[in-house]
Amino acid sequence: MKTKRIIIAVLLAALLTALTGSVASASENGVIRTPTSTGTVWLRSGPGTGYSRLGYTENGDLCTILATRGNWYRVLMKSGRMRGSYGWTYKKYVVNLRDSSKLSGWGTLAQIKTRYESSGVNLRKGPGTKYQSKGLLYRGDILIVLDKYNSKWYEVQVAYSDDYGYVYSTYITNGVEGYARANVNLRRAASTSSAIRLVIPQYATIKVLNVGKNWSRVNYQGYVGYVYNEYISLSS
């Protein structure tokens, strides 16, 4: 009897995957990115342009990615006029946000820099001053760099949140100040079998350049190498 139940459960799981697509990993959030700040993207009842339109989403709308099939995501909209709605949207119009609950897989990091500590920098809806400001960022705020729009604007996610937008490059400095949580090896490559360049002392200041799934690329006193994520913390 137990074997039959297992077989039925497997078949039901396979049927669900066939109907909805492969399940996305936990805490996989995204944001709608349209070609222009006033553009819209249709939310559809299925993974294709032949499926009915449920309504439209707008640039900057947040969503949770539930499943994927081919070039389409099944999403639950978290903001905007379609908030609370389930549907499918084309992958090219979704920016995958990083899981801000843990320091893993964030990618390239940067920080806000300003001349004065009290000065605020606009986080904008698009790459230009004509786009609406979503709020202000301040010196030391940590950014996850998702992309660059020409040489002037960075597409970013504010670390530890789902805040998303664009920041002018003048107000960004590459890398984030951090420190070693223990005496740790700085390696030439992201592997325990890689050669050790030197040992970073506990609590020593480092600059974290890029955070991978398990390893981070850091700069310590001019020496660049890799440190296992669990041995570093960000200062801010």
Tell me the per-residue pLDDT of 36-91, one tens digit each, with 9 for 90 and over.
Answer: 778 899 999 999 999 999 999 998 899 999 999 999 999 999 999 999 999 999 99
Evaluate if residue 12 carries a pLDDT over 90.
no
Question: What tokens were used for 177?
Answer: 């100040």
Evaluate if residue 122 carries a pLDDT over 90.
yes
Q: How far is CA 194 from the centre of its chain?
A: 28
Distant-in-sequence, close-in-space partners of 195: CB < 8 Å, separation ≥ 6: 187, 188, 189
Percent of the chain with pLDDT over 70: 88
Kind plus residue range of the DSSP H or E element containing 113:
none
Instruction: Say what the pLDDT of residue 219 is.
Output: 98
With beta carbons less than 8 A apart as the criterion, state whether 213 and 105 touch.
yes
With beta carbons less than 8 A apart as the criterion, state whether 109 and 209 touch.
yes
CA distances from 144 to 37, 112, 141 (A): 21, 11, 10
Evaluate if residue 18 carries a pLDDT over 50.
no
Confidence of residue 235 (pLDDT cuts 50, 70, 90): confident
Q: Which residue has the tokens 């090896």?
A: 185
Evaluate if residue 198 carries a pLDDT over 80.
yes
Instruction: Say what the pLDDT of residue 150 is.
Output: 82
Evaluate if residue 107 carries a pLDDT over 50.
yes
Select the more confidently predicted residue: 7 or 178. Answer: 178
Question: What tokens were used for 8?
Answer: 């039925």
Confidence of residue 14 (pLDDT cuts 50, 70, 90): very low
**Which one, of 169, 184, 160, 176, lies nearest residue 211 by Cα?**
176
Which sign does the torsion angle of CA 139, 145, 146, 149 carry? positive
Confidence of residue 35 (pLDDT cuts 50, 70, 90): confident
With beta carbons less than 8 A apart as the criterion, state whether 98 and 73 touch.
no
Instruction: Say what the pLDDT of residue 59 is.
Output: 87
Q: What are phi and psi of 177, to 5 degrees?
A: -70, 135
Q: Number of H helices and number of E strands within the chain?
A: 1, 22
Percent of the chain with pLDDT over 90: 75
Question: What tokens were used for 234?
Answer: 């960000």
Instruction: Write down how long the chain is.
Output: 236
Whole-number Å distance between alpha carbons of 40 and 54: 13
Instruction: Say what the pLDDT of residue 126 is.
Output: 87
Whole-number Å distance between alpha carbons of 71 and 67: 11
Question: What tokens were used for 35?
Answer: 């070609």
DSSP at 48: S
